[in-house]
């Protein structure tokens, strides 16, 4: 995939439907590179006022660099949009508050929060350190919680003052969590946690006019480079199903004022959007009274053979 292919294709497409997010204020985390960058560029093209958050760290979460966020802001502004950078760590309680406060102070409101920031510390379970586990949990789960918590506090106060609005949170889960992927117990556990977090947050925040959804994006980024090695790439002038720009339009749709969708999780990849069904009961054994172990040995062993299918479009390709 050619460099910056997504940026040009996104802006070209957005120019035909300018203004889908006009006047809406959006915070997008991890927006300096990859999928988050494409979100920010499209949101800017569609008229949103964007706070581009990115600590600028390495894929494993180490280090910091202000230039990625600033570069995205410059692109948006140069194209006629409105954006400002933010370099806070979203997993830091006070940093997340500063991020939300910056949006409100700069633009007077907050309508959209896209939680996208993430890192990887892949390791087989028997070799994983507690530091590798905690680092991933901190950025993904804690990072989603901190920003959403401070945004929710602002929206609750707005609601109390009679200033209800159609707000939207879009969280970032992953097929690695929803389908499972070897070598990513930390990442997968965090990502399926984000999907559940999104469903519960949607139920709690609906009273304030807030919709919460989650996406599981699949695209070629720094975090997925290891999985893409050796795979054939389309010619430079052709659309690529792995382009991170493919993810942004559905996220922008979820962020629009009149979108009716809430409490759902979607797999988004290439030109496809798949709706997930959360855990569902598919078989049962039952008796009136206390089971014995021997009874369960006879009645429950068949659970091992109950067929179910995750309908994973990437089966055999992940890892």
Which positions of the chain have pLDDT values less than 70?
1-18, 221-234, 316-319
User: Does residue 38 lie in a domain region?
Assistant: yes
**pLDDT by residue (tens digit) across 80-92?**
999 999 999 999 9
CATH for 11: 3.40.50.720
Q: Is 107 a catalytic residue?
A: no
Whether 290 is covered by a domain: the verdict is no
Tell me if residue 133 falls in helix, strand or coil.
helix
Determine, yes or no, domain membership for 294. no
Within-domain flag for 281: no
Domain assignment of residue 261, yes or no: yes
The answer to whether position 315 is within a domain reads no
Where does residue 82 rank: exposed (0-12), middle (13-18), buried (19+ CB within 10 A)?
Answer: middle
* d(C-alpha 28, C-alpha 235), whole Å: 31
Alpha helices in the chain (DSSP H): 5-14, 34-45, 67-78, 93-107, 130-137, 143-160, 175-178, 185-205, 225-228, 248-255, 293-299
- What is the pTM (predicted TM-score) of this model? 0.89
Place of tokens 């070629």: 220
pLDDT at 233: 63
Give which of 247, 292, 242 is closest to 274, Cα–Cα. 247
**If you search the block for the tokens 């003052």, which residue do you land on?**
161
pLDDT value of residue 36: 97
Which pLDDT score is estimated for 176?
Answer: 87
Whether residue 216 is contained in a domain is answered as yes
Note the pLDDT of residue 231.
56
Q: Which domain holds residue 236?
A: 5-275
Q: Which of 87, 187, 208, 253 is catalytic?
A: 187
Say if 169 falls within a structural domain.
yes
Number of domains forming the structure of the chain:
1
């Amino acid at each position: 995939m050619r460099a910056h292919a997504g940026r040009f294709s996104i802006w070209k497409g957005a120019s035909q439907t300018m203004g889908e997010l006009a006047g809406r204020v959006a915070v997008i985390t991890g927006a300096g590179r990859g999928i988050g960058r494409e979100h920010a560029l499209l949101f800017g093209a569609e008229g949103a006022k964007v706070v581009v958050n990115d600590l600028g760290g390495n894929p494993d979460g180490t280090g910091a660099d202000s230039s990625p966020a600033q570069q995205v802001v410059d692109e948006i502004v140069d194209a006629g949009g409105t954006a400002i950078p933010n370099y806070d760590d979203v997993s830091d309680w006070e940093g997340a508050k500063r991020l939300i406060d910056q949006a409100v102070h700069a633009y007077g409101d907050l309508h959209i929060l896209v939680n996208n920031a993430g890192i990887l510390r892949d390791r087989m379970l028997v070799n994983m350190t507690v530091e590798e586990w905690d680092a991933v949990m901190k950025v993904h789960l804690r990072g989603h919680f901190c920003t959403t918590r401070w945004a929710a506090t602002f929206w609750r106060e707005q609601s109390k003052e009679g200033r209800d609005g159609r707000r939207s949170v879009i969280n970032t889960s992953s097929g690695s969590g929803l389908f499972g992927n070897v070598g990513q117990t930390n990442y997968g556990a965090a990502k399926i946690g984000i999907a559940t977090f999104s469903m519960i947050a949607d139920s709690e925040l609906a009273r304030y006019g807030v919709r919460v959804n989650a996406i599981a994006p699949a695209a070629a980024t720094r975090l997925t480079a290891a999985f893409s090695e050796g795979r054939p790439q389309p010619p430079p002038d052709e659309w690529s199903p792995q382009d991170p720009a493919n993810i942004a339009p559905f996220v922008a749709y979820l962020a629009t004022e009149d979108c009716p969708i809430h409490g759902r999780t979607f797999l988004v990849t290439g030109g496809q959007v798949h709706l997930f069904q959360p855990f569902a009961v598919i078989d049962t054994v039952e008796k009136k009274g206390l089971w014995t172990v021997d009874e369960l040995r006879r009645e429950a062993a068949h659970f091992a053979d109950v067929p179910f299918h995750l309908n994973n479009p990437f089966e055999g390709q992940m890892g």
